[in-house]
Amino acid sequence: MPTTPTFVPVPEIATQLGMVVTRVHQLIRERQLLAVRVQGVLRVPAEFIDNGLVVKGLPATITLLRDAGYSDDEMLNWLFTEDDSLPGSPIQALRENRGREVHRRAQVAGF
């Protein structure tokens, strides 16, 4: 069962990252971040930002999942679903600097 991300509007993410909104849009286009529209507003999970930076290993994880054929919604679901073998969710593991474990799981996720 996935935990629910805390979706934050892009301007707030831009402030947290110390950059302009257009740069955050570019990060989304470049698949460094994932975003969804909630009530017409483009939002990014707050969990993707840690201490003013994109969580280490997140862009690589997104790339691995994209290569495995995952849609944006499926990637969000995968990132926020508890995995007993980690333990915790993949985004939690990334935030705890356990990216290697997450990347191994993402590499086989599509098979």
- Residue-wise pLDDT for 23-59, tens only, equals 999 999 999 999 999 899 999 999 999 999 999 999 9
- Residue-wise pLDDT for 67-100, tens only, equals 999 999 999 999 999 998 898 999 999 999 999 9
Q: How far is CA 78 from the centre of its chain?
A: 10
Encoding tokens for residue 40? Answer: 């017409």
* pTM reported for the whole predicted model: 0.92
